Amino acid sequence: DAKTTQPPSMDCAEGRAANLPCNHSTISGNEYVYWYRQIHSQGPQYIIHGLKNNETNEMASLIITEDRKSSTLILPHATLRDTAVYYCIVKANFNKFYFGSGTKLNVKP
C-alpha cells in the first residue's frame, strides 16, 4: 500500500489560501487520495477525496497531479478555525487506511 509524505508543519495567514502538499509516489491505480483533519485531538474529520481528477466541495479543493504521485489540498480562505493537523491518506480498501503524522497547519491572524 502506498504511503504518504507530508511536511510536519505549515503557517498560513488568516484569509489567505492554504496549500498543503502530499507526496504519494508509490500510489497504485486503484487507490484514492483522501484528506482528513483533526482539530485539537477531536476525532478526525473527512474533508475530500479523489482518484485522478481535481475535486472541489464546500470545504476545500483537491488537486492531483497527472501522474498521481502528489496532490495538494487547498483551503481557499483559511480561518483560525482551520488550525488543525491535516492527514493525507491513500486508500484502496477499508482496512488499508493508514494515517501518517500529518501536517500541522497554523493559521495566524
Q: State the residues that interact with another protein by CB under 8 A.
A: 30-32, 34, 41-46, 49, 87, 91-95, 97-102
Closest distance of CB 107 from another protein, Å: 20
Closest distance of CB 18 from another protein, Å: 20
Nearer to another protein, 14 or 92 (CB): 92
Nearer to another protein, 63 or 92 (CB): 92
Type of residue found at 63? I
Nearer to another protein, 75 or 87 (CB): 87
68, 69, 6: which is closest to 37 by C-alpha?
6
| Cell numbers describing residue 71 | 496532490
Q: Measure CA 96 to chain center.
A: 17
Task: Compute the C-alpha angle 15/34/87, nearest 5°.
Answer: 60
